[in-house]
A and B are shown apart, each in its own frame.
Chain A
Amino acid sequence: MSNKSLSLNGGGIMDKMTKHKDLIKVIIFLAFIAFCYFDSYFSIVGIRSCVNAMAVIGLVLISGYTRQIHLGQMAFVGLGAYTSAILMTKLGWNFWLTIPCAIIVAGLIGALLGIPTLRLRDGPYLALVTQIFGEVIYVLIINLEPLTGGTFGINGIPAPSVGSVSFANPSLLLLVTAAFTMLAFFVANKIAKSKYGRFFISIRESEAAAQSVGVNTMKYKIIAFTLSSAFAGLAGVFYAQCFGVINATEFRWSFSLELLSMAIIGGIASLEGGVLGAITLTVALEMLRPLGSAARMIAYGVLVILVLAFLPDGIISLIGKRWSEIKLMFSDRIKVFTDDRKKKRPKKAKVDA
């Protein structure tokens, strides 16, 4: 858990330092976008990174802050994608108008799903329900053929445009997607630093204690889940734009699991960690593409295991630390795996010799 996400407004020097760090984060993100901008293949990778980042931002709020495990985030991305695509292809709506619609549809369905599920306390109910929900959405999309195109999906989703300027070019689309990702991060960050974020964390830390001070934990879990779904809906709009084609199989639960592992690898306890994980893994998975899909998944699995073993707080825990601190962190983790088993005495420092 990073201290930054918990610090309060008005802290003097600390405040200036976090502002400084925020600026660096924005610059790193913009550098990544600029790097992707000049190549049309990388532009697509950049768009996918941003789409995943938006979905993971939602996931951080429900699974990182509130610690309710969500295994169906991709289904909500799918809801957003299909809402936007159907409104544009069937009803000829303007792209920009489909954005609020997709957010509302995904958020509303999230709320409807969350209200009965999150009333149940103390159990992996949300994980079970969201995983099944992903499959239900898949089956629904396949069978609602007149609306969704069934197994053929939806093709030829028109690109957004402003006046006569079309964003069909991947580089331009990347800029729009990146702008919305930054907006999503900004909104999520503001929510996370208000009482909402505090209540979400209090539920994670101790639900009984949160209730004892008067937090309606059920209500705030439902709010977190609704927010999470809404961010996924926004991600879906740009997902549909990425290739101009969507298909139901792309929203099944294995892809939800991919999003969750992105959040965990990046650092699920903070929004920055989630975004970092989404970008790193999307790019890494693309880089591993030449290995073929089987080897790629193995490499991916090994990466997840290594991160969980040595960086339980995600890659974000490396950022802003000195080299000596990082070495200490690793040696601590290695001790967890070796010393506990063998009960070796720690080696004496060689300073005396």
Chain B
Amino acid sequence: MLEVNNVGIVFGGLVALDQVNMKVKKGEIHGLIGPNGSGKTTLINVITGFYVPTSGEVKFNGNVISGKSPHLISHAGLGRTFQNINLFPEMSALENVVTARCVHTNYNMLDAVFKTKPFKEQEAEARDKAISQLEFVGLQDDLNTKAKNLPYGKRRLLEIARLLATDPQLVLLDEPVAGMNEQESDEVARIVHKMRDVGGRTILLIEHHMKFVMNLCEQLTVLNSGCVIAEGVPEEIQNNQEVIACYLGKRR
């Protein structure tokens, strides 16, 4: 479904990603791990169009998407969350999600001014879809709370609801449980499973919380200093000497 082929990106003189290859299969929950500064978020930014790779290409469903604008990549069926939660803080939770859903409406300005039938229908549909996404992540009681006033964990969930409103085939989650307690991260794990099992979506996630990653992911890719150092199922990765060395250092 997603193919990253020989992607490299250089910032000034710094090689942030070097010849990265990765494949994400349809229906998979794929984890992307690695120590801090290994290029995980950079890779997500390349896949979603926020960075243009210096070399290589990214293919999604067989089409090259690298170099396209982020909004076009979103329309192609990729959705993402941000490492530092990136909501529309002054909007209510409902408005945040409705805004994302509105991307799929096609009424024009005159429809809005004259409140025509397509306008009313599409607005109602956007609202209903938004509410059902908020219910999906368990925020049905916070519809009218401003995003900036939500507690941390709920802001993360709201970002997931907003991304689901665009109906993506592939979901990229950048540290979805960072700073969460056990109970909250279990809830996120349940939601991620539901996205795949009920929604039929593919998931690629970055996370440092190893227990969360090992329990949830079916396939892992490990990055270190911009290079892929290991790939495989969690059991293989756990016993990979190179991975252990990059996380814990080598035994002298």
A, B in one complex: yes
What is the interface of chain A, defined by CB distance below 8 A to chain B?
1, 3, 6, 8-10, 187, 190-191, 193-196, 198-199, 201-202, 205-206, 208-217
Q: Which of B27-35, B161-169, B192-200 contacts A (4 or more CB under 8 A)?
A: B161-169
Give A342 to B20 CA distance when docked, in angstroms: 54
Point out the residue from B48, B90, B100, B163 that lies within 8 Å of A205, measured CB to CB.
B90
Least CB distance, B172 to chain A, in whole angstroms: 10
Least CB distance, A270 to chain B, in whole angstroms: 12
Give A216 to B94 CA distance when docked, in angstroms: 21
**Inter-subunit contact A212/B74 (CB<8 Å):** yes
State the 8 A-B residue pairs at the shortest beta-carbon distance, nearest first: A214-B74, A194-B112, A195-B102, A205-B88, A213-B100, A211-B70, A214-B103, A209-B86
Give A214 to B102 CA distance when docked, in angstroms: 10
Interface size on B, residues (CB 8 A): 41
Closest residue to A217 on the B side, CB-wise? B71
Inter-chain contacts of B74 with A (CB < 8 A)? 211-214
**Inter-subunit contact B109/A201 (CB<8 Å):** no
Give A201 to B99 CA distance when docked, in angstroms: 9
Point out the residue from B92, B109, B124, B165 that lies within 8 Å of A213, measured CB to CB.
B165
Point out the residue from B87, B91, B127, B165 that lies within 8 Å of A6, measured CB to CB.
B91
Point out the residue from A191, A208, A209, A217 that lies within 8 Å of B112, measured CB to CB.
A191
Q: Chain B 70-91, CB within 8 Å of chain A: the 1/0 string?
A: 1100110001101000111111
**Inter-subunit contact B99/A211 (CB<8 Å):** no
Least CB distance, A318 to chain B, in whole angstroms: 19
Pick 6 A–B contacts, CB within 8 A, sort by A: A8-B127, A190-B112, A194-B123, A198-B98, A198-B102, A214-B103
**Inter-subunit contact A211/B98 (CB<8 Å):** no
Known: A8-B127, A190-B115. A209 touches B87 (CB 8 A): yes
**Inter-subunit contact B123/A212 (CB<8 Å):** no
Known: A212-B48, A214-B74. A206 touches B112 (CB 8 A): no
**Inter-subunit contact B99/A213 (CB<8 Å):** yes
Least CB distance, B201 to chain A, in whole angstroms: 15
Closest residue to B85 on the A side, CB-wise? A209
Give A96 to B22 CA distance when docked, in angstroms: 64
Least CB distance, A271 to chain B, in whole angstroms: 14
- In terms of DSSP, what is the predominant structure of the interface of chain B? helix
- In terms of DSSP, what is the predominant structure of the interface of chain A? helix
Least CB distance, B174 to chain A, in whole angstroms: 11
**Inter-subunit contact A213/B103 (CB<8 Å):** yes
Interface residues of B in 106-155 (CB under 8 A from A): 107, 109, 112-113, 115, 119-120, 123-124, 126-127
Closest residue to A208 on the B side, CB-wise? B86
Least CB distance, A151 to chain B, in whole angstroms: 39
**Inter-subunit contact A190/B113 (CB<8 Å):** yes
B207 located at the interface, meaning its Cβ lies under 8 Å from any Cβ of chain A in the complex: no
B69 located at the interface, meaning its Cβ lies under 8 Å from any Cβ of chain A in the complex: yes
Give A212 to B81 CA distance when docked, in angstroms: 8
B50 located at the interface, meaning its Cβ lies under 8 Å from any Cβ of chain A in the complex: yes
Point out the residue from A8, A9, A201 that lies within 8 Å of B88, measured CB to CB.
A201
Extra inter-chain contacts (5) besides given A190-B113, A199-B102, A205-B87, CB under 8 Å: A6-B92, A193-B112, A209-B82, A212-B80, A215-B71
Give A214 to B162 CA distance when docked, in angstroms: 11
Inter-chain contacts of A211 with B (CB < 8 A)? 49-50, 69-71, 74
Least CB distance, A185 to chain B, in whole angstroms: 12
Known: A198-B95, A213-B74, A214-B74. A191 touches B109 (CB 8 A): yes
Give A198 to B100 CA distance when docked, in angstroms: 9
Inter-chain contacts of A199 with B (CB < 8 A)? 99, 102
